[in-house]
Chain A
Amino acid sequence: MKTTPTYGIMAEFDSASDLVAAARKTHEAGYRKIDAYSPFPVEELAEAIGFHKNGVPLVTLIGALIGGISGYLMQYWMAAISYPINVGGRPFHSWPAFIVVTFEMTILFGGIAAVFGMLALNGLPMPYHPVFNVPRFAMATKDRFFLIVFSSDPKYNPTDTRRFLEGLKPRSISEVPS
């Protein structure tokens, strides 16, 4: 029987500073398929693992525009074309009155797009993930910091990568089974 394929090698660190430094070194060493895990957002970390592009603002903008434009057109069509009715002598196309709902629709669609866009881009929900197989990883939501090199990285080599990570002086190293 072949050995179970590994998903990657994971190193554990004690502080955010150590993790950022380690992630930087790993990225500089040429590893590209890496990820870092922290119990709270660390601004410098995304940059350290070489992650810059972020689609969330664009998704939000598109959502907000769709909401606003459709909100206004909906009101215009309903109040001026489909069901024109004279209310207190106001024009069918009462634009000052339509601004409120347009605004609310902009916010509603923008907000929904932001949240679900973030979840979709992050690939969540994903209740199972190989990293959860490492028992120590439960500390990642408390006070430990983890760095992983995925086995799919072209530079990945079980022994070399392990030795490289050991050189970063982590608290522990574990193999992540796939």
Chain B
Amino acid sequence: MSAARTTNLDLSAPPVIQLIGRRSLYIGVVASVIAIALGFTNPQVFFRGYLVSYMDWLGICLGSMVILMVRHLTGGGWGMVIRRILGAAMRTVPLMAAFFIPIAVLGVPRLYPWAMPLESVQNPTVREHLEHNRFVMSGYLHWSGFIWRAIIYFAIWNLLSYLLTRWSKEQDTPPVRDNSLRFKAVSGPGIILYAFTISFAAIDWIMSLDPSWISTIYGLLFLAGELISALCFAVVIERILFRYKPMSELLRPDFVHDHGKFMLTFVMVWAYFSFSQWLIIWSGNLPEEITWYIRRLHGGWGGVGLFLVVFQFFVPFFLLLSRPLKRDITRLVWLAVWLICVRYIDLFWLIEPNFSTSFHVTWADLLIPFAMGGLWLAYFCRNLSSMPLLPAYDVFAKQVLEPKHE
């Protein structure tokens, strides 16, 4: 029985997690102090970098939540073995809500054209659009609406995270509990809520940087990107844990294979959404749409776009076709690290061309990911250490604990 085996196995996180957490915290604090100090000299640049970095870490956090909910609906050992990693990443939602406050309070008038006086909007297309469509600014794109909507998004995300965590915690102590129906009851509606909230968050926070441009697939593009980064992050943590007990005993090549397959799927879905958007807009060639791509394909940005096509799709795609790679965590992890980095460049390419017509990288783009990421990782490690690495008294835990039971 699973409980009998569990007692023999120490399921707490190895000390290396606390070590990583501590070092991340140092890096985060130091980088934050420098970034804030530099931020006073140039708040514009600071907030641009802040937004890119924010979307990146938020993607790992929310992507973990949605993968966790998918696992609750479909079951399977692949998800059981990373369940607590995803859970720990998901439980950083309160931190992400705190990180959002600077954007909402100080960043809005510096970032979003609809919150600036119209005369000071640099981009003539955007200015013209806002002049002609003032109803959008009174009906949707205004500061208080922006904040209220953000409060709703974070309330929903926090609620989902709270419920999933609470019921999962019950499964750490005997007796064996079956919460699967509860998980399912919240995960089904949860995924739907997530899809709508992340889409509108993407519209509010990123797409409205250029209010004259719309794309109805935009929310789904973010959704796919978040899935990539969250899964890759889980694979990286899994690799670190794999050096130590208990993960070294729990992780089987079959599970890693499934993670590899999911990576392949998510990369393909991301490419599919991106290509569809590009082909439709390229073919339509309408002035209000194609300008978005023109900005992102000229002035040095085109190289970044090409880089993304090659390194966020073609290279990972062909590598992931290999079965041995997908089954070997020690090799798969490098691809995961790579995809996490490329995902940041992807967000950079989506966001930064709104502010500058020619390619350039600022100190904020290089520093803030570490500042925010250091603090985020410290919190993540704390979360990961606070619960056992496997909900041992879940009825499905034996999928992982008892080999040969797939």
Task: State the A residues within 8 Å of B (CB).
Answer: 88-90, 96-97, 99-100
Find chain A residues with CB under 8 A from B283 CB.
96-97
The interface of chain B, by Cβ under 8 A from chain A, is 275, 278-279, 282-283, 285
Residue pairs across A and B with Cβ atoms less than 8 A apart, 12 shown, are A88-B285, A89-B285, A90-B285, A96-B278, A96-B279, A96-B282, A96-B283, A97-B279, A97-B283, A99-B275, A99-B279, A100-B279
With both chains docked as a complex, state the minimum distance between the C-beta of B278 and any C-beta of chain A, in angstroms.
7
For B321, give the chain A residue with the smallest CB separation: A61
In whole angstroms, what is the CA distance A99 to B275 when docked?
A: 10
Give bound CA distance, A96 to B279, whole Å.
6
B-chain residues with CB within 8 Å of residue A97 when the two chains form the complex: 279, 283
Q: For chain A, what secondary structure do more than half of its interface residues adopt (helix, strand, loop), or is it mixed?
A: helix
A89 to B282: give the CA distance in the assembly, Å.
12
- Within the assembled complex, what's the spacing in Å between the Cα atoms of A99 and B283? 13
* A100 CB contacts on chain B under 8 angstroms: 279
Name the B residues within 8 Å of A89 (CB-CB).
285
Distance of B286 from chain A, by nearest CB (Å): 12
- When distances are taken between beta carbons in the complex, the residues of chain A under 8 Å from B282 are 96
Q: Tell me the smallest distance from the CB of A17 to a CB of chain B, in Å.
A: 15
Question: For A88, what are the chain B residues with a Cβ–Cβ distance below 8 Å?
Answer: 285
In Å, the complex CA distance between A90 and B279 comes to 13
Whole-angstrom CA separation of A4 from B282 in the bound complex: 73
Nearest CB of chain B from residue A94's CB, rounded to whole Å: 9
A110 to nearest B CB, angstroms? 12
Min CB distance A155 to B, Å, is 35
Nearest chain B CB to A63 CB, angstrom units: 15
Q: B282's closest neighbor in chain A, by CB?
A: A96
| Least CB distance, B77 to chain A, in whole angstroms | 19
A97–B281 Cα gap in the complex (Å)? 12
A99 contact set on B, CB distance < 8 A: 275, 279
Write the nearest CB–CB distance from A145 to chain B, whole angstroms. 23
Set of chain A residues within 8 Å of B278, measured between Cβ atoms:
96
Tell me the minimal C-beta distance from B100 to chain A in angstroms.
Answer: 36
Separation of A89 and B275 alpha carbons in the complex (Å): 21
Rounded to whole Å, the gap between the CB of B282 and the closest CB of chain A is 5
Closest 4 CB pairs of A and B: A96-B282, A96-B279, A96-B278, A97-B283
Task: List 4 other contacts, CB 8 Å, given A96-B278, A99-B279.
Answer: A89-B285, A96-B279, A96-B283, A100-B279
How far in angstroms is the closest Cβ of chain B from A56? 14
A169 CB to nearest B CB, Å: 27
CA A88 – CA B283 in complex, angstroms? 9
Task: Report Cα–Cα, A100/B278, bound state, in Å.
Answer: 13
Task: Give the residues in chain A near B279, CB-CB below 8 Å.
Answer: 96-97, 99-100
Determine the distance from Cα of A97 to Cα of B279 in the docked complex, in whole angstroms.
7
With A and B bound together, what is the CA distance between A5 and B226 in angstroms? 67
In the bound complex, what is the Cα–Cα distance between A126 and B275 (angstroms)? 45
Looking at the assembled complex, report how far the CB atom of B323 sits from the nearest CB atom of chain A, in whole angstroms: 10
- What is the CB-to-nearest-CB distance from B406 to chain A, in angstroms, rounded to a whole number? 13
Residue on B nearest A89 in the bound complex, by CB: B285
Chain A residues, CB < 8 A from B285: 88-90
Shortest C-beta distance, B308 to chain A (Å), equals 15
Write the chain B residue with the least CB distance to A88: B285
Q: Shortest distance in angstroms between A65's beta carbon and chain B's nearest beta carbon?
A: 12
A90 to B285, CA, bound (A): 10
**Whose C-beta in chain A lies nearest to the C-beta of B279?**
A96
Closest to A61 in B: B321
Q: Which residues of B sit under 8 angstroms from A96, Cβ to Cβ? A: 278-279, 282-283
CA distance A90 to B282 in the complex (A): 10
Min Cβ gap A91→B in Å is 11
Instruction: List B contacts of A90 (CB < 8 A).
Output: 285
* Cα separation A97 to B282 with both chains bound (whole Å): 9
C-alpha gap A100/B280 in the complex (Å): 12
Q: How far is the CA of A135 from the CA of B283 in the complex (A)?
A: 64
CA A100 to CA B275, docked complex, whole Å? 10
Looking at the assembled complex, report how far the CB atom of B396 sits from the nearest CB atom of chain A, in whole angstroms: 24
CB distance from A142 to the nearest CB of B (A): 28
Q: How far is the CA of A2 from the CA of B263 in the complex (A)?
A: 65
Residue of A89, A96, A97 with most partner-chain B CB within 10 A: A96
Q: How far is the CA of A90 from the CA of B283 in the complex (A)?
A: 8
B261 → chain A, closest Cβ, in Å? 17
Q: How far apart are the CA atoms of A100 and B279 in the complex, in Å?
A: 10
Q: How far is the CB of A162 from chain B (nearest CB, A)?
A: 37
Bound-state Cα–Cα, A88 to B275, Å: 21
A101 nearest CB across to chain B (Å):
12
Q: How far is the CB of A92 from chain B (nearest CB, A)?
A: 15
Q: Which residue of A lies closest to B280 (CB)?
A: A96
